[in-house]
């Protein structure tokens, strides 16, 4: 029996390749997202040195005392900026907290911009100038990469050119550096990240410092998603499932506790969101089997899910 493995693709073959190579990438991308909900990019447009530096500054921050980190909690917008403490978030429909703490970097717009009412201002840790500099650069690089990926997905879905680019320009995308401490004193029933689906269009995940990520495969088994240093993982979220009327589904995934309870894990997902006034409306090209999802505003959808995972009061 052939062991199933998340497909590995070259994003640079799409960026720099011929029309034939681009078409091959689109076909492979759509196959991976339809069959697994995940793909791995063995090469891409994000500087590997920037990724490494980002993990260095994130590690420095999370090693600080809790009393210091909690100075940067931002309650505005359901914790969409700044620090979120250990055990605060839980998976939808789970009564057990996830074993993680994290930081959010989001879109910054001027006070006069019409989206300012949706976007809290970023907060930054005092005394760590590199944290702001490095994560801001990484946010911008992943943002640009997301446009390339969504362009390729758009070709696979036969949507008008620029459809997704317009949707995510000044979108509500979030960079989330995550720290998973050792699990030796973990509460009964809790894991690093319980089974869940992502909220957004797509997620771009920098290769984590240790393993633990698993996806729920078609047969009900959990399939490990392994990456090497410098690679990126891409998966589809709930908003993409709505837009594609279920053609591209949000795949359930989790992060399990390590066999070695003393191991620390860091990861850094970039959650790609549309701008907050986007209408998530199933594409005409995806309605052959009838309409499965009703149109919904993306900001309303996001707030609903933030409440469900415990980051905002109902």
User: Two tokens at 23?
Assistant: 């078409």
- The secondary structure element, H or E, covering residue 179 is strand 178-180
- Please tell me the predicted confidence (pLDDT) of residue 186: 81
- Please tell me the predicted confidence (pLDDT) of residue 189: 86
Q: Which residues pair with 90 in a beta bridge?
A: 97
- The secondary structure element, H or E, covering residue 11 is helix 11-15
- Please tell me the predicted confidence (pLDDT) of residue 244: 98
Q: Kindly report the backbone phi and psi dihedral angles of residue 301, in degrees, each rounded to the nearest multiple of 5, phi listed first.
A: -60, -45
Q: Is 276 left (phi over 0), alpha (psi -120 to 50) or beta?
A: alpha
- Indicate the fold that domain 8-308 takes in CATH: Jelly Rolls (2.60.120)
DSSP H stretches of helix in 127-214: 129-157, 163-168
8 A C-beta contact, residue 208 and residue 100:
no
- Nearest one of 135, 162, 156 to 270, comparing CA atoms: 135
- Please tell me the predicted confidence (pLDDT) of residue 262: 85
8 A C-beta contact, residue 298 and residue 274:
yes
- Please tell me the predicted confidence (pLDDT) of residue 307: 87
- Please tell me the predicted confidence (pLDDT) of residue 1: 61
- Nearest one of 199, 257, 267 to 233, comparing CA atoms: 267
Residues contacting residue 36 through CB under 8 Å, at least 6 positions apart: 4, 6, 7, 215, 217, 223, 251
In whole angstroms, what is the distance from residue 297 CA to residue 314 CA? 18
- Please tell me the predicted confidence (pLDDT) of residue 40: 97
Task: Report the predicted TM-score, pTM, of the whole model to 2 decimal places.
Answer: 0.95
8 A C-beta contact, residue 190 and residue 98:
yes
State the 10-residue block means of pLDDT for the chain, 314 residues long.
88 98 98 97 96 96 96 84 93 90 97 95 95 98 98 96 96 97 86 95 93 94 91 97 97 92 93 98 93 96 89 69
- Please tell me the predicted confidence (pLDDT) of residue 314: 59
How distant is the alpha carbon of residue 239 from its chain centre? Answer: 12
8 A C-beta contact, residue 278 and residue 230:
no
DSSP 70-81: GGGB--TTTT-S
């Amino acid at each position: 029996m052939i062991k199933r493995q998340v497909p590995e693709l070259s994003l640079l073959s799409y960026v720099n390749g011929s029309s034939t190579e681009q078409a091959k990438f689109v076909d492979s991308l759509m196959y991976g997202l339809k069959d697994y909900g995940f793909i791995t990019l063995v090469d891409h447009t994000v500087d590997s040195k920037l990724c490494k530096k980002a993990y260095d500054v994130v590690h420095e921050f999370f090693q600080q005392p809790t009393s210091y980190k909690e100075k940067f909690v931002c309650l505005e917008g359901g914790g969409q900026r700044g620090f979120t403490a250990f055990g605060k978030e839980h998976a939808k429909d789970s009564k057990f907290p996830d074993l993680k703490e994290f930081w959010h970097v989001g879109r910054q717009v001027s006070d006069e911009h019409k989206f300012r009412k949706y976007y809290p201002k970023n907060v930054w840790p005092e005394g760590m100038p590199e944290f702001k500099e490095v994560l801001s650069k990484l946010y911008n690089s992943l943002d640009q990469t997301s446009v390339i990926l969504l362009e390729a997905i758009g070709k696979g879905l036969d949507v008008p050119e620029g459809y997704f680019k317009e949707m995510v320009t000044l979108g509500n995308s979030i960079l989330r550096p995550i720290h998973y401490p050792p699990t030796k004193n973990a509460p009964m029933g809790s894991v690093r990240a319980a089974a869940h689906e992502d909220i957004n269009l797509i997620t771009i995940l920098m290769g984590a410092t240790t393993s633990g990520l698993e996806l729920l495969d078609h047969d009900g088994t959990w399939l490990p998603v392994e990456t090497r240093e410098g690679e990126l993982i891409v998966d589809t979220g709930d908003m993409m499932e709505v837009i594609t009327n279920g053609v591209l589904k949000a795949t359930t995934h989790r992060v399990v506790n390590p066999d070695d309870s003393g191991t620390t894990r860091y990861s850094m997902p970039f959650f790609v969101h549309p701008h907050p006034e986007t209408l998530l409306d199933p594409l005409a090209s995806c309605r052959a089997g009838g309409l499965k999802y009703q149109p919904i505003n993306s900001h309303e959808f996001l707030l609903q899910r933030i409440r469900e995972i415990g980051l905002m009061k109902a």
